[in-house]
Amino acid sequence: MRKIQMVDLKGQYNAIKAVVNSDIQEIIDNTSFINGPKVHEFQKNLETYLDVKHVIPCANGTDALQIAMMSLGLKPGDEVITADFTFAATVEVIALLQLTPVLVDVNPDDFNINIEAIKKAITPKTKAIVPVHLFGQCADMEAIMELAKARNLYVIEDNAQAIGANFTYKNGKKVKAGTIGHVSSTSFFPSKNLGCYGDGGAIFTNDDALAHSIRGIVNHGMYERYHHDVVGVNSRLDSIQAAVLNAKLPHLDTYNKARQAAAMKYDAVFKNHEKIEIPFRKSVDCEGNCSTCDCHVFHQYTLKIKNSDRDGLVKFLNSHDIPCGVYYPIPLHKQKAYADERYNEADFPITNELIQNVISLPMHTELDDDQIKFITSKVLEFING
């Protein structure tokens, strides 16, 4: 059996090695390292894939989220609502822009931001909502957009973990994650479903005016060289990373299907166990968990462990050379950087439960049956022990 990895980027690379190497060599030969043809080619191809009007590449996913917020003209002290159960980058950029982060609880099934919690958190100072499409599945964007429209709020999708996922409206219409809100950000960190070989990110929008603003912000506020019209940053996707992404993009749906297939194999072993709750899928196309819906692209395969020792399971798996992750062990409202007397523990019952019982198993495009069999057998050995 091959060594089990949390993410197997080398195996994925071997399948596209010729294209990647050729395109990188072409960039080195023509020295078009910054803003070269590959960047523009990737941008256009991703716009087509997502069916979105504007893709603006940038240096990384955190920059993408910050730039998206900068484009909206938010002012210091404006409140931005987001999920408590997510990676810190989401709230980090809110704080960096001197906005006021407002953290709320998540759903117990899909771990995404809770609509009722959003409603309770809205004040006259609220200006935006940042739903995070956690672990590969969209938040309830139809309800969020309805609420935002009624309250005149911006919606910024944090799509770092769900590129390629579909969101299905109640009427059956399907759209890609990251194309629903006023503006969206994503990350191309190597371990993402669409990842480069360094850092990279992008902003998506269907709004022409926002796109114009964002294009200036990413390039020092310039639309014309040495003419700085807005306050900007230096955040560009380099050509080599764009070449890698361009080589991978035609395979993204295949990559996601491989992740879904691996998830179904995990499911088959765990789904009826009284101490294990498998990842929930929520789509109008299916009733709960099924093998046909396209709402989840499994950036992570995350179990909830019930009435057992989650931390002990982590140690047991590691002792058998099985990597795993706890995403996330500390809620944002308890992080030193973001703690605030405004927060009441009673408002975060789901997040405070999840940090105690979630565990993410290896998930990537190269998982094979022998690896999955070994991983699942060791999980059950511990849980049943």
Three-class SS of residue 101?
strand
- Residue 120 appears among annotated catalytic residues: no
CA–CA distance, 128 with 145 (Å, rounded to integer): 11
- Identified catalytic residue from 38, 127, 176, 192: 192
DSSP 197-214: SS--EEEEES-HHHHHHH
Q: How many helices (DSSP H) and strands (DSSP E) are in the chain? A: 12, 14
Closest CA to 304 of 171, 144, 110, 64: 110
Q: Are 158 and 181 in contact (CB under 8 A)?
A: no
Distances (CA, A) of 36 to 58, 212, 248: 13, 19, 18
Q: Compute how many other C-beta atoms are within 10 angstroms of the C-beta atom of residue 19.
A: 15
Q: Which two tokens stand for residue 110?
A: 């899909």
* Eight-class DSSP state of 218: T
Q: Are 157 and 133 in contact (CB under 8 A)?
A: yes
SS3 annotation, 183-197: EEEEECCCCCCCCCC
Sequence-distant (≥ 6) Cβ neighbours of residue 73 within 8 angstroms: none
Using a 10 angstrom Cβ sphere, with 0-12 exposed, 13-18 middle and 19 or more buried, the burial of residue 374 is: middle
Q: Are 89 and 267 in contact (CB under 8 A)?
A: no
CA–CA distance, 46 with 221 (Å, rounded to integer): 24
Using a 10 angstrom Cβ sphere, with 0-12 exposed, 13-18 middle and 19 or more buried, the burial of residue 372 is: buried
* Eight-class DSSP state of 86: S
* Eight-class DSSP state of 111: -
Residue positions annotated with a catalytic role: 192
